[in-house]
Amino acid sequence: MKGRYANLNRIRTLDPERDYLDIYQTMLRYEFPWDMKLGLNLAFNRSFSIPAIAAVHTTTGELTDRTQKRIDDTGLLMYEMVLNGFDKPRGRDALRRVNQIHRPYDIGNDDFRYVLGCLVVVPTRWLQEYGWRPPCCHERQATYLFYRQLGRQMGITDIPGSYEEFEAWFTAHDAAHLQPNDDAAAIERATRMLMLTRIPRMLGPLGNTLVSAMYDAPLRQAMRVDTPPWPVRAGLHVALKLRSRSQRWFGAPRTTALFADGIKTKSYPDGYEISQLGPQHDSLHE
């Protein structure tokens, strides 16, 4: 318990407008590593499920035919930007690659903005519900500012002016556009393995049911996933609440940063070049 709130105390001395990257890195690498990674997984799952976005992904086949590589590439590019920001060479290279990958596709601004909203809102809501402590106002603001900067670097326009405004826009857009569709169902079947890796081994026999229980009702409907039995949903909720309390009462601050020894993935056991992440089409090269 000693020093449990040391990172929070330091964060409260920072200015989110100036130090948003430092704050967001601390959230991911020290305060909430498991929860943030899971929250980002859930965010990407949701972003893939809007019909227009899901249709783009099934057309390319990247998520349905080359699932592990696509998942690894997405994670690597995202974490490179978080670890390095947009000013250091590796962060700039990752951002450049993200823009190259998206350039050939006719993706509307609202769809890009929705994906950005998923990354801002979904992990934050997870932390509010199941983190060992809820994120403070500095952390919510830093999360918003990091992704606002990412959005601007990607050419996304009309980004709401605060976390609260973005959450309100996201909620309304989600309710209007997250509809059942076959493309989202196909993607969920292909990517379910990623969520299964978050289930403790001892609960393996219940893995698929527990994954479904992690989705909320609108997302399950969009992906055509059956609603798990009430006892499973209630049991998962209680288990996650108990985990958060045990971490708060008995946990200690992480002393080694997440990814301190590099970002490891199945697809690149010997390392990777940022320029080679993602689909390799001639049209993507500058």
What is the rounded distance in angstroms from the CA atom of residue 12 to the CA atom of residue 177? 37
From first to last of its 286 residues, what are the pLDDT tens digits of the chain? Answer: 568 999 999 999 999 999 999 999 999 999 999 999 999 999 999 999 999 999 999 988 888 888 899 999 999 999 999 999 999 999 999 999 999 999 998 899 999 999 999 999 999 999 999 999 999 999 999 999 999 999 999 999 999 999 999 999 999 999 999 999 999 999 999 988 777 877 777 777 888 999 999 999 999 999 999 999 999 999 999 999 999 999 999 998 899 999 999 999 999 999 999 999 998 754 333 3
Look at residues 125, 109, 224 and name the one whose alpha carbon lies nearest to residue 171: 125
Residues 6+ apart with CB under 8 A from 169: 113, 117, 160
What is the rounded distance in angstroms from the CA atom of residue 109 to the CA atom of residue 178? 16
10 Å CB burial of residue 52 (0-12, 13-18, 19+) is middle
> The whole model's pTM is what?
0.94
What is the rounded distance in angstroms from the CA atom of residue 163 to the CA atom of residue 161? 7
